[in-house]
């Protein structure tokens, strides 16, 4: 830790100022959301809360702008019940723990945010932590790591594991307030709730099945006047969902992202999930002796929001023409689905996202090099789930000589992790129909 502080000081103040300004521009992600989706008081969830409590009241208590500390655990709790460690929850909730571990919610404190935190003040850093590691105890641990003011000076209690902040969006961030447990109404189960219930039972609320639960971190609040790019909010998933056909049918975020209450949260990083979203039809029409129209219909049939929802991912359609006899192939067209914004977040370059339920038609005229040969058109679809961050990280690497070695290493790691998420979604092939005078 000393070393870290030492190396931070080695960076000259004018550079720091410059860099912080750069960060403010560059930070691809959403400092600005400010307050929680539903602000309001952070008073204690009481035992009176029942399923009847309306979801919005529940949510405003459950997700205040800043989560209050848990405080001391009840004396009757075993150390297992008192612990905020996801692994402790996992002792009893084995399935949820395994699923969560495989999800991106357990990676919200990865290299991509860590290198940035090293260059930030506590105030700026806490704005990021609101979504990436929201418990008060996690913020205190991050403060300790970075020698920020207000870091805890006492030894950590045993219910607070030293690595809790690095664990990301932990179980307790969604389920535990002041050592009281909250969850969705119990499924119809054989589980008895009589007798000694672990962690003194739990308070049920339907808010856990409401899209607004997720909006806390996946939607910028208009009331905070967040900055926009070309008039659009950087995070607008809940609004997009509200306009979707799925919302009309009462399908919430959880129905798609937590089927059967599984804690998987698969999204654009997952090929199967993304295939559910996008249906692609490819048709070729011969329009002349050596001309063809390539017609593509892109249907966002399975995402309950734009495909993709944020500016971050890019989905590229690569069209190539292959001579079936010689095997020779060349790319004749590319089309990118996504919202492309410059690294400084000031300018929109294009926005080709497809709203939920909508179909986008492309018509690409193609001239064949030889009319008589046999041709195939191939369409490959490539996904870069973190394209915007890749550009941000590359831009930041231009300042490599100004960065402390430790920060630079984490930045490089963030870039290579982002690049490692690329995958091919699918590949289609269609023979070019022969020219027929009757056409
Ligand atoms: C000693 C075992 C044990 C530990 C440790 C434990 N739980 Fe539980 N928990 C249970 C049991 C048993 C139930 C009731 C049956 C069920 O729903 O699985 C329950 C219920 C719940 C529920 C309500 C489920 C519903 O139907 O809505 C939530 C949420 C929950 N626990 C979260 C947690 C979290 C988060 C942690 C860690 C901070 C944790 N639990 C630690 C045993 C445990
Ligand atoms: C309103 C909630 C919110 C706030 C505040 C927030 N983020 Fe995020 N962040 C997200 C969400 C949601 C994602 C995933 C979607 C995406 O890729 O944009 C994400 C993704 C990221 C990623 C890419 C994933 C990775 O681990 O590489 C980075 C880096 C990141 N955020 C950094 C930051 C930084 C730095 C701040 C503070 C300046 C910040 N975020 C503030 C919600 C937030
Ligand atoms: C991002 C918030 C979030 C995190 C993190 C999270 N959960 Fe949940 N959990 C939920 C929501 C939302 C539901 C209700 C889903 C539904 O009903 O569709 C839920 C449901 C549950 C249930 C009830 C499951 C059932 O089948 O009845 C348990 C138990 C539970 N969570 C435990 C955990 C544990 C243990 C962890 C950590 C390993 C964890 N949760 C992490 C949001 C979260
Ligand atoms: C009808 C099912 C469905 C609903 C409802 C739904 N999603 Fe999705 N979501 C998907 C699919 C499929 C993908 C993968 C394709 C994509 O990225 O659009 C996805 C992707 C995502 C991503 C990945 C990032 C990105 O840029 O696309 C996030 C974050 C996300 N959803 C959050 C949410 C939230 C928050 C809600 C509720 C407000 C929600 N989703 C509602 C199906 C759904
Ligand atoms: C406390 C803030 C917070 C809450 C609450 C939250 N998320 Fe997230 N979520 C994040 C962050 C931060 C990420 C980015 C993880 C990363 O890429 O490092 C994320 C990532 C995701 C992803 C992965 C998208 C991808 O790129 O593949 C999905 C899907 C998702 N969240 C859905 C949900 C749903 C559904 C809910 C509600 C049950 C929810 N989230 C609640 C903060 C939150």
Tell me, rounded to whole angstroms, the distance of Cα 135 from its chain centroid: 18
Supply the residue whose CA is at minimum distance from atom 30 of ligand 5.
Answer: 265
- Ligand 4 centroid distance, CA of 137 (Å): 29
Confidence of residue 187 (pLDDT cuts 50, 70, 90): confident
State if residue 237 touches ligand 5 by the CB under 6 angstroms criterion. Answer: no
* Whole-number pLDDT of residue 193: 52
- Ligand 5 centroid distance, CA of 305 (Å): 14
Q: Which atom in ligand 4 lies closest to the alpha carbon of residue 237?
A: 38
Query: pLDDT digit string (tens) for 258-277?
Result: 999 999 999 999 999 999 99
Confidence of residue 191 (pLDDT cuts 50, 70, 90): low
State if residue 261 touches ligand 1 by the CB under 6 angstroms criterion. Answer: no
Neighbours of 363 (CB within 10 A): 10
Residue in the structure block whose two tokens are 């067209």: 333
State if residue 261 touches ligand 3 by the CB under 6 angstroms criterion. Answer: yes
Handedness of CA 54, 56, 59, 60 (dihedral sign): negative
State if residue 131 touches ligand 5 by the CB under 6 angstroms criterion. Answer: yes
Q: Would you say 421 and 382 are in contact if contact means Cβ atoms under 8 Å apart? A: no
- Ligand 2 centroid distance, CA of 117 (Å): 12
Cβ-Cβ contacts under 8 Å for 140 (sequence gap 6 or more): 69, 150, 151, 152
Query: pLDDT digit string (tens) for 330-353?
Result: 999 999 999 999 999 999 999 999
* Among 163, 119, 174, 116, CA closest to 137: 163
Supply the residue whose CA is at minimum distance from atom 21 of ligand 4.
Answer: 267
Query: pLDDT digit string (tens) for 22-53?
Result: 554 444 443 333 333 322 222 223 333 454 45
State if residue 105 touches ligand 5 by the CB under 6 angstroms criterion. Answer: yes
Neighbours of 428 (CB within 10 A): 15
* Among 268, 267, 256, 282, CA closest to 382: 268
Q: Using alpha carbons, list the distances in angstroms from residue 401 to 14, 15, 132, 368, 404.
A: 14, 11, 28, 50, 8
Q: Which atom in ligand 2 lies closest to the alpha carbon of residue 311?
A: 18
Supply the residue whose CA is at minimum distance from atom 41 of ligand 3.
Answer: 171
- Ligand 5 centroid distance, CA of 210 (Å): 14
* Whole-number pLDDT of residue 189: 60
Residue in the structure block whose two tokens are 């490089």: 412
Res. 175: pLDDT tops 60: yes
Whose atoms come closest to the Cα of 260: which ligand? 3
Cβ-Cβ contacts under 8 Å for 254 (sequence gap 6 or more): 208, 209, 211, 213, 214, 261
CA angle 293, 299, 304 (to 5 degrees): 160
State if residue 304 touches ligand 4 by the CB under 6 angstroms criterion. Answer: yes
State if residue 218 touches ligand 5 by the CB under 6 angstroms criterion. Answer: yes
* Whole-number pLDDT of residue 1: 27
Residue in the structure block whose two tokens are 């809940």: 238
Q: Which atom in ligand 4 lies closest to the alpha carbon of residue 277?
A: 12
Could you tell me how many residues make up the chain? 439
* Whole-number pLDDT of residue 195: 55
Query: pLDDT digit string (tens) for 388-404?
Result: 999 999 999 999 999 99
First to last CA, the chain: 75
* Among 55, 53, 50, 80, CA closest to 179: 80
* Among 349, 353, 321, 318, CA closest to 334: 318
């Amino acid at each position: 830790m000393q070393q870290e502080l030492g190396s931070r000081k080695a960076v000259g103040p004018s550079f720091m100022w410059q860099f912080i300004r750069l960060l403010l521009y560059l930070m691809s992600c959403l400092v600005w959301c400010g307050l929680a989706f539903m602000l309001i008081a952070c008073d204690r969830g009481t035992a009176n809360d029942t399923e009847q409590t309306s979801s919005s009241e529940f949510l405003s208590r459950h997700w205040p702008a800043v989560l209050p500390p848990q405080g001391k655990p009840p004396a009757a709790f075993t150390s297992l019940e008192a612990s905020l460690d996801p692994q402790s929850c996992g002792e009893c909730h084995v399935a949820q723990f395994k699923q969560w571990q495989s999800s991106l919610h357990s990676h919200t404190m990865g290299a991509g945010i860590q290198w940035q935190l090293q260059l930030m003040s506590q105030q700026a850093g806490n704005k990021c932590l609101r979504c990436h590691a929201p418990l008060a105890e996690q913020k205190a641990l991050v403060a300790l790591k970075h020698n920020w003011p207000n870091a805890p000076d006492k030894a950590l209690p045993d219910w607070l594991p030293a690595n809790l902040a690095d664990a990301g969006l932990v179980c307790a961030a969604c389920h535990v307030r002041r050592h009281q447990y909250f969850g969705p109404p119990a499924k119809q189960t054989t589980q008895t709730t009589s007798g000694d219930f672990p962690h003194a039972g739990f308070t049920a609320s339907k808010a856990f099945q409401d899209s607004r639960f997720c909006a806390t971190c996946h939607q910028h609040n208009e009331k905070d006047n967040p900055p926009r790019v070309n008039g659009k909010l950087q995070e607008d998933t809940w609004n997009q969902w509200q306009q979707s056909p799925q919302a009309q049918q009462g399908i919430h975020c959880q129905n798609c992202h937590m089927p059967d209450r599984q804690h998987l949260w698969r999204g654009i990083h997952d090929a199967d999930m993304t295939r559910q979203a996008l249906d692609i039809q490819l048709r070729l029409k011969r329009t002349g002796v050596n001309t063809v129209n390539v017609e593509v219909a892109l249907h966002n049939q399975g995402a309950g929001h734009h495909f993709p929802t944020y500016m971050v991912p890019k989905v590229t359609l690569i069209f190539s023409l292959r001579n079936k006899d010689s095997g020779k192939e060349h790319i004749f067209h590319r089309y990118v689905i996504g919202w492309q914004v410059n690294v400084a977040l000031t300018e929109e370059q294009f926005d080709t996202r497809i709203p939920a339920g909508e179909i986008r038609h492309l018509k690409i005229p193609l001239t064949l090099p030889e009319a008589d040969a046999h041709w195939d058109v191939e369409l490959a679809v490539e996904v870069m789930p973190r394209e915007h961050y890749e550009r941000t990280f590359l831009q930041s690497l231009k300042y490599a000589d100004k960065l402390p070695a430790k920060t630079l290493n984490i930045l490089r790691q963030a870039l290579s992790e982002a690049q490692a998420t690329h995958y091919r979604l699918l590949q289609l092939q269609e023979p070019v129909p022969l020219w027929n005078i009757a056409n």
